[in-house]
Structure 1
């Protein structure tokens, strides 16, 4: 076959919709599988990886792969993601932007993948699906009551007109459970299927007949046994229709066929003269060290026969000669000692002896002890979560025998941090060697947000100093700059401090920009408002890039959150009252009244978001920013659009007082917020 070998790995573990839980394994699965498929010594595929992309990007890559193929090409596609079934029974692959209630427009239909496979010119296509399938419904539906989804029903290879198609799935039919519109946490598990796939190809264990090649049928048999051993509740399935055998990878598990010893050496080993047989032992010992493994194993077989059947003197010499080719390892026992849970210590086992003694394969007794062969050595990685002492085995098997390497140690919990010193106790001086590690570097977008906040403050300070006198400062609206200068500087500082730049800083800057960036008040505020808005965008990008937490919405946290909602609503009502008074006073002031109405709506929305946003620290900081922006805007409006003498001005007075109350409540809520 002269065609190309091309692989497309699609891994989605991060999802925008909170109803689809993040998966821990797809990113690591994609990296490991791409590495083994691209290895020229194993599979030699041209690999493309699509990770955490939207549905249209994934669909485009799938169509490109199948459309740009030749008859002799070997195509392999691997999906690692959530799988969902619509109410009508159609299967979909979840993408980053997938919404369970809008599968047709936000997920990749299995029917689309099938059509692409059917239209492809390639005669050798393998589809590997590490997905589970189930119904995804809206709020209030816990679990679908209908039967399970069988993915093979969506990919019948018999419908491809006899061409070479194969579908192997991680399970025959598994259905996820939903709690409301959220996926149950106990169903989020690391991938057993893909890790077995990678191990089988990398180690060559999937080469069941040890002919040096991993065939598609052998790979499925290996996956079936490995997955069932690790998880008895999961049963891989297959639907294969291939003309001839399809080999996916090479293997080091090639069985060594013994080469017959020369006829004269065979005759010498059986000669009645014992000295002639001793000479034959010496020659067989020399052949046993040959780089040609077939020659070495042939000599080993003859020496074994002589050790078992000849007279004692000859048998001892033959046994001593063949023992030089026995399987030997260094070390014979691997002792990890105490291992902190969560760490992944590594040890190495080295083979010793002539080439025939080093032609071995390694097998681990437990799934949490991973073994990777590397020439004449093997790397073992301990990944055990259970606390306590452990003992495992690594079996080393070669043509001349077998040896077991014992692995032992103990997994311990991570030591608790030392208690903080009491206030009356002076902390002990920290030695240089014991100094804490420096805090992680700030995200560049967080730094950019802080710089933009400072730029807004500097601009306003420059405008204020350009005024000629104190009278101008008050008459020309310079006093309206002061609150915004203070809040912009504060937002910039919290965006730089290590303890606040992740959540508190972005929350405060976004809340401030939400209100203060609305065009109103003096014209000189427009540039500063633009800087604040750009800073808020950079802060949100920094939050998005931080994968350690995700923003979401929830119920109000406590009574203070509800009180903040009441204060924000009252402040919005005050602005509406002022707008009504302006219209009643003069119909020509309708444009001014409209600005009050817009601000009241934004204030109400900002207060609602601040009370509902999660994590709590982000929501409280957002409330603080909304309160600060409200103070800025009420002051700006009072200067730019003062009420006439016939207008009481009670509306903006109520708005200002309630916004101040909102700021005070934010301060109390900040004491309870963590994150």
Structure 2
């Protein structure tokens, strides 16, 4: 699936910023208003690809949950291509551990918040019922990681599953951690980094800035600053949804391509840029296919990670073709990102590709892609046979 920008006229965004709160248990968050206004500017910037300004709606300082409900209702059915809903403010949990979003009159008492806060179920239902092909939910609030649980249908209070092709949830903090809004800062920590990524782009990324590009860049930058780790959940091929053009994109030219010295697999002669005869060796190809299946099984057993899309691709087209498709993709897969988060890039397809016994199955360019991706994420594979 190729990344593409949202269709301007058929896409909608609702950006909600709650900065003022009347209850003494909630402090004001002035940066949230800056968040939504700057994010609206970035999303509608024609130079970035942007949404049509008429389709990007900003709601600041709603006083009641009903105002938020009305605003959601005003965009969900209009979006036919891409729907983006963003909230920045206070997040709080009720006694059952369910997430609620604060408005000006919200009472944060866990016993009363469900009367005065915006329930996560409203946003879940809105995205589930929208006719939009792609749906994106971004939450910048405390405990926002609960949203990824709710959107996956695994939270105890949620009945049924949300299995919508092209739905992506991005949260600023884990389920049981608070988000960060530095005192006196123009933006909150999470949205400030999101804005920087949208405006400056991701070096070595593709021409379009996809959610699959944005999430790792956000995570690395925020962790380096001591901030909470963002959370994400994607269904279908949601990682390929693009929000903007990548300003840091530089197309490769002959003068910028660096020559690489290829280490030859044992007993094999490789002509640069040409596949070795190992590709024609059924035994080597079968061994690679088995290694791909073994990586899937190990991830499931050791990490409790079920890479459903990956194993389906391997079963449909074979391990070798599946690896080539993943290498040719403009950004890393959601599975690669998950393995990176868990510190197990040794199980990534790129690490298997670079094993000595399989290197002859791939072109120099494909080997370069695998090596560069792993290096970008701080992993140096050991040469194994």
Specify the TM-score bucket, using the shorter chain as the normaliser.
Answer: 0.5 to 0.7
1:243 partnered with 2:237: yes
1:154 partnered with 2:160: no
How far did 1:170 drift? 0.4
Query: How many residue pairs are counted as aligned between the two chains?
Result: 238
**RMSD (Å) for aligned C-alpha atoms:** 3.0
How far did 1:36 drift? 0.7
User: CA separation of 1:63/1:252 partners in 2, compared to 1, >3 Å: closer, same or farther?
Assistant: same
Aligned counterparts of 2:77 and 2:133: Cα–Cα separation in 1: 13
Does the CA-based 8 Å contact 2:18-2:61 persist in structure 1? yes
Match of 1:9 in 2: 15
1:117 partnered with 2:119: no
1:87 partnered with 2:134: no
How far did 1:7 drift? 1.3
Of 194, 197, 204, the residue aligned with 1:197 is: 194
How far did 1:176 drift? 5.6
- Relative contact order (C-alpha < 8 Å, sep 6+): which is higher? 2
Match of 2:171 in 1: 169
Match of 1:48 in 2: 57
Of 86, 93, 107, the residue aligned with 1:78 is: 86
User: CA separation of 1:66/1:21 partners in 2, compared to 1, >3 Å: closer, same or farther?
Assistant: same
Match of 2:247 in 1: 252
Does the CA-based 8 Å contact 1:76-1:127 persist in structure 2? yes
Aligned counterparts of 2:224 and 2:38: Cα–Cα separation in 1: 21
User: CA separation of 1:186/1:229 partners in 2, compared to 1, >3 Å: closer, same or farther?
Assistant: closer
- Richer in strand (by share): 1
Deviations for 1:48-93, whole angstroms, at most 9, x for unmatched residues? 11000122111111122212332xx111111101001001222100
Does the CA-based 8 Å contact 1:81-1:93 persist in structure 2? yes
Match of 1:60 in 2: 70
1:133-148 equivalences in 2 (<5 Å): 133=143
Does the CA-based 8 Å contact 2:84-2:137 persist in structure 1? yes
Match of 1:606 in 2: none
How far did 1:187 drift? 9.4
Aligned counterparts of 2:151 and 2:184: Cα–Cα separation in 1: 25
Task: Name whichever of 155-164 and 28-37 sits farther off.
Answer: 155-164
* Stretches of 4+ aligned residues off by more than 3 angstroms: 174-177, 185-190
Match of 1:20 in 2: 26
Aligned counterparts of 2:174 and 2:167: Cα–Cα separation in 1: 18
How far did 1:188 drift? 10
1:99 partnered with 2:94: no
1:564-579 equivalences in 2 (<5 Å): none
How far did 1:213 drift? 0.9
How far did 1:248 drift? 1.1
Aligned counterparts of 2:188 and 2:100: Cα–Cα separation in 1: 19
Aligned counterparts of 1:50 and 1:56: Cα–Cα separation in 2: 12
User: CA separation of 1:98/1:42 partners in 2, compared to 1, >3 Å: closer, same or farther?
Assistant: same
1:374-385 equivalences in 2 (<5 Å): none
Specify the SS of the correspondent of 1:77.
Answer: strand
1:210 partnered with 2:210: no
Match of 1:31 in 2: 37
Aligned counterparts of 2:94 and 2:117: Cα–Cα separation in 1: 11
1:130 partnered with 2:127: no
Aligned counterparts of 2:11 and 2:182: Cα–Cα separation in 1: 38
Aligned counterparts of 1:173 and 1:35: Cα–Cα separation in 2: 29
1:123-522 equivalences in 2 (<5 Å): 123-133=133-143, 150-156=146-152, 159-175=161-177, 191-205=188-202, 208-232=203-227, 234-243=228-237, 245-258=240-253, 297=255
How far did 1:131 drift? 0.6
Task: Mark the structure with the bigger radius of gyration.
Answer: 1
Does the CA-based 8 Å contact 2:211-2:243 persist in structure 1? yes
Deviations for 1:8-58, whole angstroms, at most 9, x for unmatched residues? 110001011121111131011112111111101114123211000122111
User: CA separation of 1:86/1:157 partners in 2, compared to 1, >3 Å: closer, same or farther?
Assistant: closer
Aligned counterparts of 1:188 and 1:129: Cα–Cα separation in 2: 21
Aligned counterparts of 2:237 and 2:153: Cα–Cα separation in 1: 13
Deviations for 1:396-455, whole angstroms, at most 9, x for unmatched residues? xxxxxxxxxxxxxxxxxxxxxxxxxxxxxxxxxxxxxxxxxxxxxxxxxxxxxxxxxxxx
Match of 2:356 in 1: none
User: CA separation of 1:86/1:111 partners in 2, compared to 1, >3 Å: closer, same or farther?
Assistant: same
User: CA separation of 1:108/1:187 partners in 2, compared to 1, >3 Å: closer, same or farther?
Assistant: farther
User: CA separation of 1:176/1:202 partners in 2, compared to 1, >3 Å: closer, same or farther?
Assistant: closer
Match of 2:350 in 1: none
How far did 1:116 drift? 1.2
Mind listing any 5+ residue stretches in structure 2 that lack a counterpart?
1-5, 155-160, 259-385
Specify the SS of the correspondent of 1:15.
Answer: coil
